[in-house]
Structure 1
Amino acid sequence: ELTSQREYFATHSACLLCHYINIEAEERSRIVCANDGFITVVPFWAVWPFEVLLLSRRHLGSLPELKGAEVTQLAEALKQVVSIYDRVFGIPFPYSMGFHQTPSDRSEHPEWHFHAHFYPPLLRSATVRKFMVGFEMLGNPQRDITSGAGGRKTAFASRRH
């Protein structure tokens, strides 16, 4: 990620993920949820069936840079993603999630954009898990469900209330 963001910034003098947010906001088909501070999408490169990417709308590098309402907006976005997941199969949906923040090497990183990845291990039902094995661990991941199919199911679940 860091290499891609650096290369894009060096070439375009702009942030890669800011550009990506604009593309997804215009396209709208992969948006799972959004508020004034954050947007959550199923990235077109998703490997996990219900993988989502949560991005800050404002260009910032880390949690301490959040201002005012953005803290609440992040909490609301996180709660909404988890609630949507729980509705997909009608169970508490397991997931791994991590924030990606500015590298901590004490250098400036204008290319870096704060975001979080969610990787749920469920595949097609509450009882079928995805496991990375063999060639997936050593080569390329297999996409069992396309990002569009997983995203549509996730987005649909968000409107079932």
Structure 2
Amino acid sequence: MRPNAKIVYKKPTSPSSARQLLVDYVQRELADGSRTVVETEHWLAVVPYWAAWPFETLLLPKTHVLRITDLSDEQRDSLALALKKLTSRYDNLFQCSFPYSMGWHGAPFNGEENAHWQLHAHFYPPLLRSATVRKFMVGYEMLAETQRDLTAEQAAERLRAVSDIHFRESGV
């Protein structure tokens, strides 16, 4: 989603609708647990129910945080642990260096009031069934609805089922 579109989409329409959408989403995912991949003291990685890529994940702080520069030392340490656990699970799934595109969304530094923003990261890995089978988006997926070979819950279960200690470190 383009940054300007994201600003319009996330901005509350009235003071009564000022709840933070992604903070509420974290609470729902914590309560459900079926799409959770990694949880640390301050972070949660889930396969979102709307995921288009087979092992797509969303990494979110458990509390309202606007920008990565706003993180406390404790939150940064917890983030480092969450990233290590998540990327190790990716690599362990097919015993390879698991490719992915990843990016952060945070509040813009535009001088405006941006309390409606929530820091979060997206991981988009293309691997599907093995280290050599990749998902490619085809025309109808780019123009309409994506085809999922796994449900979000199945993908999360497969990622949870592998160790968060990297296979090269575990002696396996």
Could you say whether these structures have the same fold, taking a TM-score greater than 0.5 normalized by the shorter chain as the test? yes
Offset at residue 159 of structure 1 (A): 6.5
In 2, distance between residues paired with 1:151 and 1:66? 26
What runs of 5+ residues in structure 1 fail to find an aligned partner? Answer: none
User: Is 2:31 the partner of 1:19?
Assistant: no
What runs of 5+ residues in structure 2 fail to find an aligned partner? Answer: 1-5
> C-alpha offsets along residues 95-150 of structure 1, whole Å, 9 cap, x if unaligned?
11111111343211111110101010001111110111211223332222211111
Partner of 2:128, secondary structure, is: strand
Offset at residue 29 of structure 1 (A): 1.3
Residues 20/40 of structure 1: CA separation in 2 closer, same or farther (3 Å cut):
same
Partner of 2:11, secondary structure, is: helix
In 2, distance between residues paired with 1:9 and 1:122? 42
Aligned-pair identity in percent equals 42
User: Is 2:101 the partner of 1:96?
Assistant: yes
Picking from 61, 65, 80, the partner of 1:60 is: 65
* Runs of 4 or more above 4 Å deviation: 7-11
Picking from 74, 85, 89, the partner of 1:69 is: 74
User: Is 2:150 the partner of 1:145?
Assistant: yes
User: Is 2:34 the partner of 1:29?
Assistant: yes
Partner of 2:129, secondary structure, is: strand
Equivalent pairs, count = 161
Counterpart AA for 2:33: R
> C-alpha offsets along residues 23-45 of structure 1, whole Å, 9 cap, x if unaligned?
01111111111111111111111
Q: State how 1:33-44 maps to structure 2 within 5 Å.
A: 33-44=38-49
Picking from 127, 141, 144, the partner of 1:136 is: 141
Retained in 1: the 8 A contact 2:55–2:124?
yes
In 2, distance between residues paired with 1:31 and 1:72? 20
Specify the structure having the higher radius of gyration (Cα): 2
Retained in 2: the 8 A contact 1:9–1:15?
no
Structure-1 residue corresponding to 2:3: none
